[in-house]
Amino acid sequence: MLQRAKSDARGANSDILQEADVNFGRWCWFDTSVIKIDFLRCLNMRNHKHPPSSYARILFRYLRLSEENSQRYFEGTNVSYEELMTLDGTIARHDMVKIYSNAQAISGAEDLGLLVGTQLNLSTHGPLGVATFSAPDLRTALTLLAEYGRTRVEFFETTISEDSAGLKINFAEAFDLQDLRLFITETVLSGLFAAIEFFVGAGQFKGQIYFSYAKPSYWQRYHDDFGGNVQFNRSATEIIVAPCLLSVPSPVADARLHREAVAICEQQLKEITAGETGKSVLSIEQRVSKLISENPGRIWTSNEVAATLCMSSRTLIRKLALEGTKFQIIRDEQAKKQAANYLTDASLSVESIGHLMGFSDASSFRRSFKRWFGETPSQYLGRARRTDAQITKDLKR
């Protein structure tokens, strides 16, 4: 079973594995005695208003597209090639729907959902995949997939229940999927089925798989991929897992890793739902300002900030432009606040303040200060002290 765990984690397609590894900011491997994942700090810097772009990226690669021939893939969307390839990128639902529709037209394969879905092993699902394969047993894993599924896709409202027949996962369309119904359903359920087989082994599934739509012309593919217990024209799309499988342990369970991954999933879900309830989610400008203000003592470059926020410098500049600002403006504003704050401390010399702010010499600091305030530090202090003296004089009258 450990060998199967290795195989599932690495995947048959090296591009898919590479996507999985870098997508959630880690290098991940399986061994006979250890699972190690290095959680990077950038996970907590990401803005998860929408689920990640990783599935659109996997589909892009499956279709063997490149930047040169990708125009049809992005047609009618607000997504660019660069944004798609940004590892922490997210894509709004309406853009994702259009991308999937474009992909179907490009492919021409009616069973594209199954073809792509069978390559979505657990390692392609980011922190949710980690939480799943490190779970103590299949019941816990499936519960997590249902609870945090929205951090990965926005197409279904997923509910879970358990009775004597087993554990039932119900997929209700979040909106009318129309021509994409088969493609999206096939992809999502293929991914879920792969998770189940990760625990129980290939060909060992016991239960039922129901689809709410009519049998497609390629229905035999469903039996090839899901086994014989497949039914169409049901009242709901569901997977029912037999009770005898629910306590099957993960071959690579890890309690500490599981807790850390679940915590990340919980944070991502909060960020997504915050946008729906009107709660504040930081803009790119706010995230840059927060990073600079909380890390004084250095002169941040756009490349450094972009890397810390897990995006390219070009993407950072473009996103700030969409918010009506520039990196230089944000950095100067934060520097002005820091400088003004330091100047209130009479024990600090101009040279000391420049050093505290990351300048190599006092002359460089003075030049920057004059650009920020239109006057030298000495002139600024003189004016500030005259203002304070005048206020004090007025108060004594």
User: What pLDDT sits at residue 34?
Assistant: 36
User: Per-residue pLDDT averaged across 287-303, rounded?
Assistant: 84
Could you tell me the pTM of the whole model?
Answer: 0.62
Q: Backbone phi, then psi, for 157, in 5-degree steps?
A: -95, 115
User: d(Cα 196, Cα 182) in Å, to the nearest integer?
Assistant: 21
Strand 230-231 relative to strand 237-241, pairing: unpaired
Out of 3.40.50.720, 1.10.10.60, 3.30.465.10, 1.10.3720.10, select the CATH number for domain 284-396. 1.10.10.60
Q: At what angle do helices 181-200 and 219-226 cross, to 10 degrees?
A: 20
Residue 72 CB coordination number (10 Å): 13
Q: Where are the domains of the chain?
A: 2-269, 284-396
* HEC letters along the chain: CHHHHHHHHHCCCHHHHHHHHHHCCCCEEECCCCEEECCCHHHHHCCCCCCECHHHHHHHHHCCCCCCCCHHHHCCCCCCHHHHCCCCCECCHHHHHHHHHHHHHHHCCCCHHHHHHCCCCHHHHHHHHHHHHCCCEHHHHHHHHHHHHHHCCCCEEEEEEEECCEEEEEEEECCCCHHHHHHHHHHHHHHHHHHHHHHHCCCCCCEEEECCCCCCCCHHHHHHHHCCCEECCCCCEEEEECHHHCCCECCCCCHHHHHHHHHHHHHHHHHHHHHHHCCCCCCHHHHHHHHHHHCCCCCCCHHHHHHHCCCCHHHHHHHHHHCCCCHHHHHHHHHHHHHHHHHCCCCCCHHHHHHHCCCCCHHHHHHHHHHHHCCCHHHHHHHHHHHHHHHHHHHHC
Poorest-pLDDT segment among 220-229, 249-258, 316-325, 383-392: 383-392
Which of 106-110, 150-154, 321-325 tops mean pLDDT? 106-110
**If we measure between CA atoms, which residue out of 341, 339, 344 comes closest to residue 355?**
339
pLDDT tens-place string over residues 230-259? 999 999 999 999 999 999 999 999 998 899
Confidence of residue 281 (pLDDT cuts 50, 70, 90): low
User: d(Cα 260, Cα 127) in Å, to the nearest integer?
Assistant: 9
Residue 32 has pLDDT above 50, yes or no: no
pLDDT tens-place string over residues 62-95? 999 999 999 999 999 989 998 888 766 788 888 9
